[in-house]
Structure 1
Amino acid sequence: MHVSTFSIVARDPRTGELGVAVASKFFAVGAVVPWVAADIGAVAVQSFVNGRFGKQALSLLRQGQSAQDCLKDLIETDAEPDGRQLGIVDARGQAAAFTGPGSLPWAGHRTGEGYAAQGNYLVGQETVDAMAAAFEANRHMDLPRRLLLALTAGQDAGGDKRGRQGAALVVHRTDGGYGGSDVVVDLRVDDHPEPVAELERLLASQHLYFGHSAPAERLAIDGAIDAELRKSLIRLGQLSPNADSAAFLASLRNVSLITNLDERVHIDKREIDPPALAYLTALEKL
């Protein structure tokens, strides 16, 4: 199967996060291209895909191989390497990429500090160049956002010459995800006319539901904020106008559970994260 696509694999040197972002005119591309393991590496497998490469690459990286040695092993032991395309980054931030001569043009890759950007059957080289430039220009950002900006730049520069359909963003860090999992972000758009834009919308939701505000950024639930939240709860039919403080807090706790914002509403400290306040005060119905 041929997966015409463009992708970027990368490691954040500040957090150790590893991730892949990919987009393509290919249904459910996120089920095929990205492979990530916390503290091990990130891999993109594309073009004429060898479906075993992702698992094999992570196994070789887990054994201590560098990205370059891992790539060399995979290509040298493959029966049909000419059609393969791979991007690999290891846990030390070393990156390697390969574009076989049998990949449909335009096909190619670029590697830089902590990342590899690659694509095949593209409008042109400008897609890969745009991904690399955007990634390098946004070092101050967290890895999920930085990868998405690179992907957006690649799409804006032309992307897959056949059009648009699927996209995915996967980022792992040991104990960095919800409840102590390694999954920081795992978002897929399987079939959409604007998959990269939809991925951006999903990442914003990811931030709302799974993000955390620093204690210094939290807002005290009193005064005007107390009044605004009471108005919202009354509008939603979750609080009576003459409710006392205990009933108000109980209702707020219940609504935060219904909306999956319970980790952003700190009832015990009578505080709320700014994104949760903005969401709840704009909510029209449950």
Structure 2
Amino acid sequence: MTFSIAARCERTGRFGVAVTSSSPAVAARCAYVRAGVGAACSQNITDPRLGTHLLDLMAGGASAAAAIHDTAHDPAHLPHIPYRQLTAVGAAGPGAAHSGAHTLGRHAQAVGPDAVAAGNLLADPGVPRAILDAFAADPAAPLARRLVDALGAGAAAGGEEGPVHSAGLLVGGDVPWPVTDLRVDWTDGDPIAELAALWKLWEPQEQPYVQRALAPGEAPSFGVPGDA
């Protein structure tokens, strides 16, 4: 029901996830980032605890591959791990992925030097590779834009077997909270296009909102009625 990308920006050190699904509110369950640590997705028949677990392992020094391997072989997770599809990328090294034996429908994954993509119930097994190729096309662009463009490329390559209804974008910067957290939780339109429009609106405001948290006295005004 889902396809996604988890990635690292080699230029800035940021981490991010973009994800879309036929299910509602996909990013609330499937997308995880932690500044300075990595990005992860827990999808298919989702266990949200696994995304946090992957980040905890990478925060402790594990590579993405080791974090995925250890999670997939952890006795606490073994009874249900065949139903999980997991991806991760850390501060160094390539991404990594696990697609359990009970991953739904046509599923695939693709790993790159700075990113990993995976999906289930896909119309075409080449979707994850198309996502990574689009992500790598413009490394000078902001990470969030690359992620949204990559998600769009996955849709253009076939996407899911059926229509998608939700999408999300999560990016970690230099502060403990995500600097971008945008979601289309349900639409009968095109959630990826709507997510791209949200990013276009948010992009010039991302850094000002960080500044409002760290140095409110120096932050720009909100520019809304009633703001002096």
Which interval holds the TM-score relative to the shorter structure? 0.7 to 0.9
Note the residue ranges of structure 1 that are not aligned, 5 or more in a row.
176-180, 213-252, 263-286
Tell me whether 1:20 sits opposite 2:46 in the alignment: no
CA offsets, 1:62-106, max 9 Å, x none? 111111111111111222222211110012243111111211221
Is it true that 1:156 corresponds to 2:156 in the alignment?
A: yes
Q: Name the structure 2 match of 1:139.
A: 139
Cα deviation, 1:206-236, whole Å, max 9, x if unaligned, reads: 0233357xxxxxxxxxxxxxxxxxxxxxxxx
**CA offset at residue 60 of structure 1?**
1.0
- Distance in structure 1 (CA, Å) of the matches to 2:206 and 2:147: 18
Deviation digits for residues 169-206 of structure 1, max 9, x if unmatched? 0010123xxxxx64221101000121000000100110
- Out of 194, 199, 202, the position equivalent to 1:198 is 194
Which amino acid in structure 2 is aligned with residue 11 of structure 1?
A: R
Residues 93 and 115 of structure 1 are in contact (CA less than 8 Å); yes or no, is this contact kept in structure 2? no
Name the amino acid aligned to 1:189.
V
Q: In the TM superposition, what are the counterparts of 1:55-66 in structure 2 within 5 Å?
A: 55-66=52-63
TM-fit CA distance, 1:140 = 2.0
How is 1:71-150 mapped onto 2 (pairs within 5 angstroms)? 71-77=68-74, 78=77, 79-150=79-150
Match 1:50 to one of 47, 51, 55? 47
User: For residue 36 of structure 2, what is the aligned residue in structure 1?
Assistant: 39
Identify the residue that residue 257 of structure 1 maps to in structure 2.
223
Give the alignment partner of residue 179 of structure 2, picking from 154, 177, 184: 184
Q: Please, what TM-score do these two structures have when normalized by structure 2?
A: 0.87
What one-letter code is carried by the residue in structure 1 that aligns with 2:154? G
CA distance in 1, matches of 2:112, 2:224: 44
- Runs of at least 5 residues in structure 2 that lack an aligned partner in the other structure: 209-219
Name the TM-score, length of structure 1 as normaliser: 0.70
Kept in 1, the 8 Å contact 2:180–2:206? The answer is no
Q: Is the Cα–Cα contact under 8 Å of residues 63 and 93 in structure 2 kept in the other structure?
A: no
Partner of 1:209: 205
Which protein has greater RCO, CA pairs closer than 8 Å, 6+ apart?
2
Q: Which stretch of structure 1 is more off in the superposition, 6-15 or 131-140?
A: 131-140
**Structure-1 separation of matches of 2:157 and 2:182:** 23
Tell me the SS of whatever aligns to 1:159: coil
Instruction: Decide whether aligned partners of structure 1 residues 195 and 130 sit closer, same or farther in structure 2, where only a CA change above 3 A counts.
Output: same
Matched-pair identity in %: 35
CA contact (8 A) 1:209 1:260 kept: no
Look up the equivalent residue of 1:143 and give its one-letter code.
L
- 1:261 and 1:75 map into 2 onto residues whose CA distance is 52
User: 1:210, 1:113 → 2: CA distance?
Assistant: 27
Given the superposition, is the C-alpha separation of residues 147 and 259 from structure 1 closer, same or farther in structure 2, using an over 3 Å criterion? farther
Deviations 1:226-267 (A, max 9, x none): xxxxxxxxxxxxxxxxxxxxxxxxxxx98x6217999xxxxx
Correspondence list, 1:219-258, <5 A: 257-258=223-224
* 1:168–1:187 CA contact under 8 A, matched in 2: yes
- Contact 2:19–2:151, Cα closer than 8 Å, also in 1: yes
Larger C-alpha radius of gyration, 1 or 2? 1
Number of matched pairs: 213
The letter of the residue matching 2:224 is I
Distance, in Å, in 1 between the alignment partners of 2:224 and 2:25 is: 30
Matches of 1:159 and 1:136 in 2, distance apart?
19
For the Cα contact (< 8 Å) 1:13–1:93, is it kept in 2? no
> What is the letter of the counterpart of residue 223 of structure 2?
L
Assess, with a 3 A threshold, how the Cα gap between structure 1 residues 82 and 211 changes in structure 2: closer, same or farther.
Answer: same
CA RMSD of aligned residues (A): 2.1
